[in-house]
Amino acid sequence: MTLRRDRLPRAAAEAPENCNGAALFAKAEELLGKKAADGDPRACFLRGQLCYEEGLYEEALAEFEKIKDTDFQAMYQLGVMHYDGLGTKEDPEKGVEYMKKILDSDSPKAKHLKFAAAYNLGRAHYEGCGVKQSTKEAERLWLTAADHGNPKASVKAQAALGMLYSVSVLKDLKKAFFWHSEACGNGNLESQGALGVMYLYGQGISQNTKAALECLREAAERGNIYAQGHLVEYYYKRKFYSTAAALAKRVTENDDIDMLATVTDCVPTYIAKGIAMAAFYLARCLQLGLGVQQDQDSAKRYYSKACLLDPGIAIDLELAANLGRI
For every one of its 326 residues, what pLDDT tens digit does the chain have, with 9 covering 90 and above? 444 445 433 333 333 444 566 777 777 777 777 776 666 778 889 999 999 999 999 999 999 999 999 999 999 999 999 999 999 999 999 999 999 999 999 999 999 999 999 999 999 999 999 999 999 999 999 999 999 999 999 999 999 999 999 987 899 999 999 999 999 999 999 999 999 999 999 999 999 999 999 999 999 999 999 999 999 999 999 999 999 999 999 999 999 999 999 999 999 999 999 999 999 999 999 999 999 999 999 999 999 999 999 988 767 777 666 656 66
* Contact (Cβ atoms closer than 8 angstroms) between residue 318 and residue 270: no
Helix (H) or strand (E) holding 77: helix 72-84
Residue 258 domain flag = yes
Sign of CA dihedral 14, 3, 98, 92: negative
Residue 141 domain flag = no
Last residue of a domain, one of 133, 155, 182: 133
Separation in Å, CA 245 to CA 67, 104, 209, 226, 290: 56, 53, 21, 16, 8
Are 230 and 129 in a shared domain? no
CATH number, position 120? 1.25.40.10
* Contact (Cβ atoms closer than 8 angstroms) between residue 60 and residue 52: yes
Q: What share of the chain is helix, strand, coil (3-state, %, to 5)?
A: 70, 0, 30
Give me the pLDDT at residue 3, please: 44
Last residue of a domain, one of 79, 113, 133: 133
Residue 287 domain flag = yes
Distance CA 239, CA 236 (A): 5
Residue 167 domain flag = no
Mutual angle of helices 189-201 and 155-167, in 10-degree steps: 30
Number of domains composing the chain: 2
Residue 196 domain flag = no
Residue 237 domain flag = yes
Residue 191 domain flag = no
Residue 158 domain flag = no
Torsion angle, CA of 211/148/165/95, rounded to 10 degrees? 130
**130: phi > 0 → left, psi -120 to 50 → alpha, else beta; which?**
left
Are 128 and 26 in a shared domain? yes
Mutual angle of helices 135-146 and 155-167, in 10-degree steps: 140
Sign of CA dihedral 119, 123, 126, 131: negative
Last residue of a domain, one of 97, 115, 133: 133
Closest by CA position to 232, among listed 218, 214, 252: 252
b (16+ CB within 10 A) / e for 91-118: ebebbbbbbbbbbebeeeebeebbbbbb
Amino acid identity of 274? G
Range of 40's domain?
22-133
Give me the pLDDT at residue 314, please: 67
The dihedrals phi and psi of 3, each to the nearest 5 degrees, come to: -120, 135
